[in-house]
Amino acid sequence: MKLWDLRQRKCLKDYGGDDEELGVEDNLFHTDSIWDIQANSHFDQAYTCGRDGKIFHTDLAGENHTMIFHDKDS
């Protein structure tokens, strides 16, 4: 998941990335594409759901990810 400045066409922050590149474990963030993102009105927290069947809560200021659901059948 990346935060972009569309006017500057520049990535401001990367909240995940390639699993192998960053050493991300299966339960720390999505391992497949993200299908939906919902942020709160202050844009400091977000919920993401992905093709991997996982839903995460992300503290955008602190970059902490918490898996809140995992559909193991997907």
pLDDT in tens, 36-51: 999 999 989 999 999 9
Reference 49, options 59, 36, 65; nearest CA is: 36
pTM over 0.75: no
66 has pLDDT over 50: yes
Burial 16-42 (b: 16+ CB within 10 A, else e): beeeeeeebeeebbbbeebeeeeeeee
Q: Once rounded to an integer, what is the mean pLDDT over residues 15-44?
A: 73
31: which residues sit within 8 A by CB, 6+ positions away? 19, 24, 50, 52, 54
